[in-house]
Amino acid sequence: MLSINAVTVRLGGRTILDRATAAIPPRARVGLIGRNGAGKSTLMKLIARANTPDDGGIDMPKAARIGYVAQEAPAGSTTPFETVLAADTERAALLAEEEGLDHADPANLHRIAEIHERLTAIDAHTAPARAARILVGLGFDEAAQHRPLDSYSGGWRMRVALAALLFSQPDLLLLDEPSNHLDLEATLWLESFLKTYRATMIVISHERDLLNNVVDHILHLEGGKITLYPGGYDDFERQRNERLAQLSSAREAQAAQRAKLQDYIARNSARASTAKQAQSRAKALAKMQPIAEVATDPSLVFDFPSPAALKPPLVQLDHAAVGYGGRPVLSNIDLRLDPDDRLALLGRNGNGKTTLARLLAGQLPALDGAVAATTKLKVGYFTQYQVEELDADDTPLEHMTRAMPGAKPAAVRGQLGRFGFSGAMAEQKVGKMSGGERARLALAIITRDAPHLLILDEPTNHLDVDAREALVQALNDYGGAVVVVSHDRHMVEAAADRLVLVEDGHAGEFAGSLDDYTDRILGRGEARPQKRPATAPAKPGHVARAESQADRAKAVVLKRSAREAEADMTRLATRLAQLDAALADPAKATGADRLAGVPALMKTRATVAKALEEAEAKWLAASEALAA
C-alpha cells in the first residue's frame, strides 16, 4: 500500500499540492494525469523520495525498491547493453564479489555457494537475454547495443535509461512521460511490456491508448487535489463528465436559491414584521459558498484557417529519391497528395519519416525521379525545433507581428486568438509559457497564411490529453491536407485515413489498419506495405494507378460531404436535445423557446428530427461511397 497523506508543496509562493491525499492499492497500475503545470512531476518526485513535501507525508513499505528515471541521460564510453545489465545492482554486486573471491580457498566455498544460490533465485543467468530483449523493443538492434553511449543523441540515451529502469524490475515503477523519446513502434512495445508488469506502477502519460490498455486506476491531479478513479482513461473521462454535470446542476440550483433569497430580502427588509426573517435569510445567503463554474481553458483552443481550393494533386512523387549530401535515404517513392487527404507516416525513428516530410514540404530537393507540386501550394510544417527556437524574451504578439509583416494589428491578434492567445496572454513572455503553450504558438505561426498542406512532426509531445483531443478535432475540421508523424496512436487513428510505411530505404502505402500495423510490430501478423493493382500497363517514368484522377477528385468531394454531414448531425442533435428539455420542463426553456408554446415546439422538433435523419443518411451514403 502506498499512502499519500495530506501532502502540501509550495513553489515560488504558489501552492502546487494542497493537502493532497490518496491510497494506492498494492500492485495497482496507476495513470497520473492532469493539465500541464498541475504538479504531476512534483508529486512523482515526492513518491520517488527525490524531494520532500512542505507538509504531510508519503508512506510505503521501507524495503520497497523504487525505480525512477532521472532527468539526466546516461553517458560515457559504456554501451547500452552494459548500462542495462548494471541496473540490476544486486546481480552486479554478487558477480563482482564472486570474482574477487579465491575459488581455491576452502574458506570461501560456503560464500561462493551462497552467491550462486542467490544468483539462481534472482534468475541472473537469463539477465543478458532479458536486457537484449528490452533494448531491441526500444529500437536498439544487436550492433547498436554495443556502441558507446556518447555516440547517441540525448533522446536515444534516455531510451537506455528507460531500458535500465524496466530491467531492474523495482517494486514501485515510476515513469514520467516514458513515450516522449519513443517512436510509435517503441511505444507499442512499451505498452505491451507494461501490460505484463507485476509490481505497483505509476505512470505520467498523455497517451490515451496507453492509459486505456495498461492502467487500472487513474489518479487525477487538479487544483492541488488528487482523486483516484477506478479503470482506464475512458472510464475516468465518463466519471469526470458525470461529476461535472452534477456540479453544473448544483450550480444552477444554487443560483436559483440565491435569487430567491435575494428577492425575499429585497421585499421584506424594510417591513418590521418580516425584518428578522429577512436578516436570517441574509445571513444564510452570506454563508452560501458559491459553486465555481467550470472554467474554459485557452490551452484547448486550436483553429486552423482553411485554405482556398486547389485542384488535385497538391504534390505527386514519381520514382523520387531523397537524402543528404547526394546520398539517398529513401528511393523509388511513388506518392500522391490531394486536397483533404489525411496521411500518417509510420516507421521507426531513423528510417526516414522526417526526410520524407521535408521532401513533401519542399525543404529538400529530389535526388532522382520527379516531384510535382501545384504552383500556388502553401505548406505549414511543424517540428519540435520550431518550439525550441522561439525567443524566450519575446511575446506571442511580437512573434506573430514578425511572421506577418505588413498585416494590420487586428489580423495579427485574430490569428493569435485562433490558438487561445487573446488579451493579456498575447503579451506574456514566451520564457514563462508551458511547453504546450509554446507548441500552440508554433502552430499559430506556421498556419498564418492558411496553408493547403499541414505537415506535423510529433505535434503532441508537450500537450496533455485534453489538448491532444482538441488538436485532433481541429485537424478534422481543417479544410486542407494533413501529413502527420506521431507516436500517439489515438491521434494517428483519429486524424489519418491513409498510412504510409517508411522502412528499408523505401516508402509505400500500408495495406491494412493501424491495428494490423500494431500486430506486425508485436509479431502478431504479417501485414506488408500495399502494392496497388495496375489497371493498365505502366508507362515509362510513371506508376500505373488503380484510381483515375476522376476517382480521386470524387473521393475529395465525398470526404468533404461526410465532414459537412457530421457537423450537421452534431448541430442538429444538440438542437434536438434543447427542444426535448424545453418540452419536458418549459420553465427551463431559453431564448425563443421560452416564448413559443408547446405546439410550436413540437412542430420545430419534428422539423429538426427530419433534418437530423437526412444528415445521417447523407453521412452514411458518403461514407459508404468513400469506402467503396
Q: Is residue 115 domain-resident? A: no
**In degrees rounded to 5, what are phi and psi of residue 221?**
-105, 120
Q: Is residue 93 domain-resident? A: no
Asked if residue 401 and residue 314 are part of one domain, the reply reads: yes
Burial label, 274 (beta-carbon count in 10 A; 0-12, 13-18, 19+): middle
Q: In this predicted structure, what is the pLDDT of residue 542?
A: 33
Q: What is the DSSP string of 505-525?
A: TEEEEBSS-HHHHHHHHTTS-
**In degrees rounded to 5, what are phi and psi of residue 508?**
-150, 155
Asked if residue 438 and residue 457 are part of one domain, the reply reads: yes
Q: In this predicted structure, what is the pLDDT of residue 467?
A: 87
CATH code assigned at 185: 3.40.50.300
Q: In this predicted structure, what is the pLDDT of residue 545?
A: 33
Q: In this predicted structure, what is the pLDDT of residue 533?
A: 36
- DSSP state at residue 617: H
Q: Is residue 83 domain-resident? A: no
Report the run of H or E that residue 148 belongs to, with start and end: none
Percent of the chain with pLDDT over 90: 43
Q: In this predicted structure, what is the pLDDT of residue 292?
A: 53
Asked if residue 390 and residue 265 are part of one domain, the reply reads: no
Asked if residue 601 and residue 469 are part of one domain, the reply reads: no
Q: Which domain holds residue 615?
A: 553-627
Q: How far apart are CA 24 and CA 47, in angstroms?
A: 11
Asked if residue 466 and residue 318 are part of one domain, the reply reads: yes
Q: In this predicted structure, what is the pLDDT of residue 526?
A: 45
Asked if residue 304 and residue 188 are part of one domain, the reply reads: no
Domains: count for the chain: 4
Last residue of a domain, one of 200, 231, 262: 231
Asked if residue 488 and residue 339 are part of one domain, the reply reads: yes
Asked if residue 412 and residue 338 are part of one domain, the reply reads: yes
CA 149 to chain centre: 29
Q: Is residue 189 domain-resident? A: yes
Residues 6+ apart with CB under 8 A from 593: 578, 579, 582, 601
Q: In this predicted structure, what is the pLDDT of residue 582?
A: 80
- Among 186, 215, 239, 232, which Cα is nearest to 489's? 186
Asked if residue 590 and residue 510 are part of one domain, the reply reads: no
Burial label, 366 (beta-carbon count in 10 A; 0-12, 13-18, 19+): middle
Asked if residue 188 and residue 58 are part of one domain, the reply reads: yes
Q: Is residue 510 domain-resident? A: yes
Asked if residue 341 and residue 205 are part of one domain, the reply reads: no
Q: Is residue 565 domain-resident? A: yes
Q: In this predicted structure, what is the pLDDT of residue 602?
A: 83
Q: What is the pTM of this model?
A: 0.72
Q: Where are the beta strands (DSSP E) in 395-532?
A: 453-457, 481-485, 498-503, 506-509
Asked if residue 395 and residue 283 are part of one domain, the reply reads: no
Counting as low any pLDDT under 70, the low residues of the chain are 70-72, 247, 273, 289-299, 524-553, 555-556, 588, 591, 594
Q: Is residue 8 domain-resident? A: yes
Q: Is residue 601 domain-resident? A: yes
